[in-house]
């Protein structure tokens, strides 16, 4: 069985009178059931190495707060200067690259959607991620009920809405394909308890800043690229899913 740990970067909200509504990124980290404990431990070790005086379960890898020195990371005693921020991202990305994971991300260009509504952003991103999860499982010759979502419970989108989208997509594809590889009931978890959810948050942020053409994040994006899901050599449409497509 594979687990898909999911978090996001950006907002689903679209403001009609704003010229640039930006992007919404939904990223997932795929881990086989035999590997998730070792990846969790590796990330805990990275957190312990970054802040030796803090227990790794007492603080959370949250990319936006790290990069902008907000909330927990605004504390002066952490000494969170630019060099430390870069160290955090570099060590987390290195850990991801050296772990048995596969990455898949959905990138929504909010201003170019045919239907410019916040609900469209939310539904499109979860539908596409579910399809990619199903296809990944099929590509790896897995069978029914071999894929399970783990989702950050702090997402602003109500859990019931996400469940409905996943359930509808799984049932639709199950009826058409004759099998259902993704379990239709996702598990919602508190991100501070799951390092793999925190990793999904960090990856979503790197993808977001890459699409924003922030040169400071290009090295991290390029490092993560080999871990992104592919069909043969094809990345776009698999590890990176753009809506609408630009590649």
Q: Is the pLDDT of residue 132 over 80?
A: yes
Confidence of residue 80 (pLDDT cuts 50, 70, 90): very high
- What's the average model confidence in pLDDT over 86-99? 98
Predicted TM-score of the model (pTM):
0.93
- Look over the chain and give the mean of its residue pLDDT values, rounded to a whole number: 90
Rounded CA gap, 241 and 105, in Å?
Answer: 6
Question: For residue 16, what pLDDT is reported?
Answer: 75
Rounded CA gap, 233 and 23, in Å?
Answer: 25
Tokens of 48: 């312990």
Confidence of residue 22 (pLDDT cuts 50, 70, 90): confident
**Share of the chain residues as helix, strand and coil, in percent rounded to the nearest 5:** 50, 20, 30
How many Cα neighbours within 13 Å face the side chain of 158? 4
Question: For residue 47, what pLDDT is reported?
Answer: 97
Domains for the chain: give ranges and CATH numbers.
Answer: 2-243 (3.30.420.10)
Each residue's pLDDT tens digit, 161-204: 888 888 887 777 655 554 578 888 899 999 988 999 999 999 99
- What's the average model confidence in pLDDT over 63-68? 96
Question: For residue 206, what pLDDT is reported?
Answer: 98
Question: For residue 178, what pLDDT is reported?
Answer: 44
Question: For residue 77, what pLDDT is reported?
Answer: 85
Rounded CA gap, 222 and 218, in Å?
Answer: 6
Rounded CA gap, 60 and 82, in Å?
Answer: 18
Rounded CA gap, 65 and 69, in Å?
Answer: 5
């Amino acid at each position: 069985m594979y687990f898909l740990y999911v978090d996001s970067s950006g907002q689903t909200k679209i403001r009609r009178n704003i010229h640039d509504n930006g992007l919404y990124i939904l990223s997932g980290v795929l881990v086989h059931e035999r590997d998730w404990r070792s990846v969790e431990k590796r990330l805990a070790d990275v957190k312990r190495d970054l802040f030796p005086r803090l227990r790794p379960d007492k603080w959370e890898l949250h990319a936006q707060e790290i990069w902008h020195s907000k909330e927990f990371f605004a504390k002066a005693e952490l000494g969170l200067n630019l060099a430390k921020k870069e160290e955090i991202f570099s060590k987390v990305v290195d850990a991801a690259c050296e772990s048995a994971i596969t990455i898949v991300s959905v990138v929504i260009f909010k201003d170019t959607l045919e239907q410019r509504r916040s609900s469209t952003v939310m539904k499109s991103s979860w539908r596409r991620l579910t399809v990619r999860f199903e296809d990944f499982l099929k590509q790896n010759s897995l069978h029914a009920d071999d894929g399970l979502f783990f989702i950050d419970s702090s997402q602003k989108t109500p859990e019931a809405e996400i469940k409905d989208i996943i359930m509808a997509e799984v049932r639709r594809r199950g009826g058409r394909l004759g099998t259902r590889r993704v379990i239709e009931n996702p598990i919602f978890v508190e991100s501070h308890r799951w390092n793999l959810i925190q990793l999904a948050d960090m990856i979503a942020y790197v993808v977001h800043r890459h699409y924003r053409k922030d040169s400071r994040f290009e090295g991290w994006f390029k490092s993560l690229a080999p871990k992104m899901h592919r069909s043969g050599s094809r990345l776009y449409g698999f590890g990176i899913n753009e809506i609408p497509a630009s590649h």
